[in-house]
Every structure is written in structure tokens, then in C-alpha cells.
Amino acid sequence: MKASMLAAVVIGALVAGFVGGIVAGLLFQGGGDVSGLESRIAGVESRLASLESRVAALPQEAGLRVAYVDAEDLFMKVFLPQVDAERQAMAQKQQEVQQLQARHIQGEIDQEEYQQQGARLQAELLQAQLNVNLTMLDKMIASPGFANFRGDLERIRDSARPLATEVGNLVQSAQVGIVDLEGFMATYQQLKSAFQQLDQLLTQAAAAKIVEIAQQVAREQGLDLVLRKKDVLIYYNDQKITDISGEVEGRLWGLFSSS
């Protein structure tokens, strides 16, 4: 076992034993003088500080070179701005839905009108959301940086075209007037489910590209392990664990600058 890994295990065991001792003391002692406990805490903290300083002094080669990447933040920083205009149109439609709900709550419109207008707005919102995804899909396909994904992306686009047609038909029927509200909403739910599948596929494609570029950066920097920040990292020492999100972000922007 490498020295740094051994030290980490020793520190972990010491902390576990220390915490276990405190918990046992709190559970089985009914009170009394805590000076002994305070002394134990001070002693353990001193030993931890000594061990940590010894680990920090070890040469870099003695342990893994670890980094992390904030994939979710990169998606918001790089991918979402590519469809900013489409997302603004979607946000406007979401605002219209909220305004309609407020008018209904305030009693400005009756239930029947609320259902008619609400169904129309929901269909229009779905069309706006779909437009965001289709625009992103087109930009990915046009980018040379996605050449290795192009075949899959084109198949996704071909599958999405009938969905776009059906959503457009639904919006047109709502604008004319909905006769069968129950049937309309059933169709809307089916199309929404199909849209969600498309949205998931696009998100996965973006995530795969982020992973691919993170791997490139890791190999170039001689890293041994790269972790995802969300749902993986609970704690990290920023003096020892490298954040490569900045390098990955720069390369992601390059994918779209040439498209």
C-alpha cells in the first residue's frame, strides 16, 4: 500500500474510532465533568494535524492524481447559451401559463375558459420546448466537434421530425378551438412523453461529450482519476484535488465556435 494511501487509512480509522468513542460516551454517560472529553478531543486534533502534515509532505508520485469536473455547471454555461433565443421564447410561454393561472385564481376567467386557454398554452409551451431541443440538435450536428456522434444525432433528428409535426398540429387545433378537451389532453400527454425521451437523449449526448473532453484533459495532464462533482464529491481538499472544469469549458466552447 502506498504511503499516502496508508496514511489516509490511518487517519480514517483514527477519526472513526474517535467519533465512536464520543458517541458511546454521550449514550452511556448521564452527564458529569466533560474536561476529560475535551482533553481527548484536543489530543486527537493534535495527532490528526500531525498526520495530515506528514501526508501533505509526501511526494506527488506517492498517491493518485485526482481531479473533478462540474458537468452540470458546464452544461448550463456552454450548451444552454447555444439556444438562448429559443429558451427566451420558452420562458415567455411559461410566463403566460403562470399569468393565466393567476387570472383564474383571482376569478377573472371561468373554469371553462381557463381549461381552453390553459390547454392551448400548454401545447404552445411544448412546441417551444421542442424548438429548443431541435435547435440544439441542429447545432450539434453542424459542429465538427460532434462528428463522432453525428450518425446518432441525425437519427435522433429524423425520429423527432414526426413529433414536431404532431405538436404543430395540436397547437393549430387548440388555436381554432378545442371541442374534445379530454381527447386533446390525452394526445398532449403522449406527445409530452415523447418530447421527454428526446430531451433525455440530447442531455445524454451533451454529457457524453463533456466526459469525452474531460478524459482528453485528464490524459494530457497525467491525471489518474477524474470524478463528477455532483452526487459524487462530498468533501475534497482544494489544495490537493484539481478542478479541471475550466479547461473542459474552453474546449466545449470551441465545439460551437466553428459551427
* Tens-place pLDDT, residues 37-68: 455 555 555 655 565 555 455 454 557 899 99
CA distance 203 to 61: 37
Supply the pLDDT for residue 13: 35
Supply the pLDDT for residue 30: 41
Supply the pLDDT for residue 235: 85
Supply the pLDDT for residue 233: 85
- Whether residue 67 contacts residue 243, with contact meaning beta carbons closer than 8 Å, is answered with yes
Among candidate residues 91, 98, 119, 135, the one with its CA nearest the CA of residue 189: 119
- Whether residue 181 contacts residue 119, with contact meaning beta carbons closer than 8 Å, is answered with yes
Please, is 235 exposed, middle or buried when counting C-beta atoms within 10 Å of its C-beta (0-12, 13-18, 19+)? exposed
Report how far apart, in Å, the C-alpha atoms of 84 and of each of 38, 96, 166 are.
57, 19, 24
Residue 30 sits at φ, ψ, to 5 deg, of -95, 10
- State the sign of the Cα–Cα–Cα–Cα dihedral 221, 238, 63, 225: negative
CA distance 243 to 137: 29
Amino acid letter at 2? K
Residues of the chain with pLDDT under 50: 1-37, 55, 58, 60
Distance of CA 93 to the CA centre of its chain: 24
* DSSP letter, residue 28: H
* Tens-place pLDDT, residues 150-162: 999 999 999 999 9
CATH number assigned to the domain with residue range 71-218, chosen from the 4 options 2.60.40, 1.20.120, 1.20.1330, 1.10.10: 1.20.120
